[in-house]
Amino acid sequence: MANSLHAAFAAIANVRNEQELKLALMDKIGEHFGVQHWGIYLIDDQSKTEIDVPGIPAVCLQGNPIGRYVVERHAPAHEQLILSPEDWKDICPRHDHEHVMTGPIVCDGRLVGTLNLARAKGSLAFDGNDLADLSALCIHISAKLATLRAKPTTLKSASPSPLTPRELEIAELVAQGLTNSEIAARLWITQNSVKQALKRMFRKLGVSARSEMVAKLHSTIVSNS
């Protein structure tokens, strides 16, 4: 079980946008928590694309004690932490939501979303270990989301530039400290393609080293800002 959780952490670390964040977790959430339904609900969803994941409607979390607990405390909760089984059935009569757990996604000190999980009738209830794992997962998601929404100045914003969009993408990964093999894996190309691209980029920019290339591109950004 720990391996699947660490796989989720690794998947979160490697995503490049909010759309990929949802897709990267699609299989891992269900596998780790043994849930039939789950979803990431972002209050200010910037992904622009609807992702078909086994979602839980956000309305299920509004106006009930679990939702209020998460909003007030920015801490994860499941129904047995707050309510008796009978009380929960009165609040959420859905047969496929017999056990529900939700955790906060926080950015810049405010709640920006929730990670919601549900087990169907006849399944085991969520326990303290599930709650701890959800808390760890929410921390990783919150940190990644903060990075994605920070919108730092990137090399791709340099204009005008003699580099193609693909070359600028490679330059951005170089600036992040990735090796040729890591860049190749990220862009689904061969290491030789990366090597040849860098040679072309060096010639276009009149530089002879990776650090010199990054410095020159960043100086272009500053002069154009």
Instruction: Give the per-residue pLDDT at 154.
Output: 53
As a dihedral over the C-alpha atoms of residue 162, residue 164, residue 168, residue 170, rounded to 10 degrees, the angle is -130
Specify the 3-state DSSP secondary structure of 121: coil
- Phi and psi at 37, nearest 5°, equal -140, 140
**Crossing angle (nearest 10°) for helices 165-175 and 210-224:** 110
Domain 155-224: assigned CATH number:
1.10.10.10
Domain boundaries, the chain: 2-149, 155-224
Burial of 74 (0-12, 13-18, 19+ CB in 10 A): middle
What tens-digit pLDDT sequence spans the chain (225 residues)? 567 888 888 888 888 887 788 888 887 888 889 888 888 888 765 444 343 344 444 445 556 788 888 888 899 998 888 887 777 666 676 777 788 899 999 988 888 888 988 888 888 989 999 999 999 999 999 998 888 877 554 555 444 678 888 888 898 888 888 889 888 888 888 889 899 999 999 999 998 888 888 888 876 654 444
What pairing do the DSSP bridges indicate for beta strands 110-119 and 99-107? antiparallel
Q: Which helix (H) or strand (E) holds 93?
A: none
Please give the pLDDT value at position 76. Answer: 93
Beta partners for residue 31, in sequence order: none
DSSP tally for the chain: helices H, then strands E: 11, 4
CATH 3.30.450.40 correct for 2-149? yes
Q: Which residues, other chains included, contact 205 with Cβ-Cβ below 8 Å and sequence gap of 6+?
A: 162, 163, 213, 216, 217
Round to whole Å and give the CA distance between 139 and 93.
30
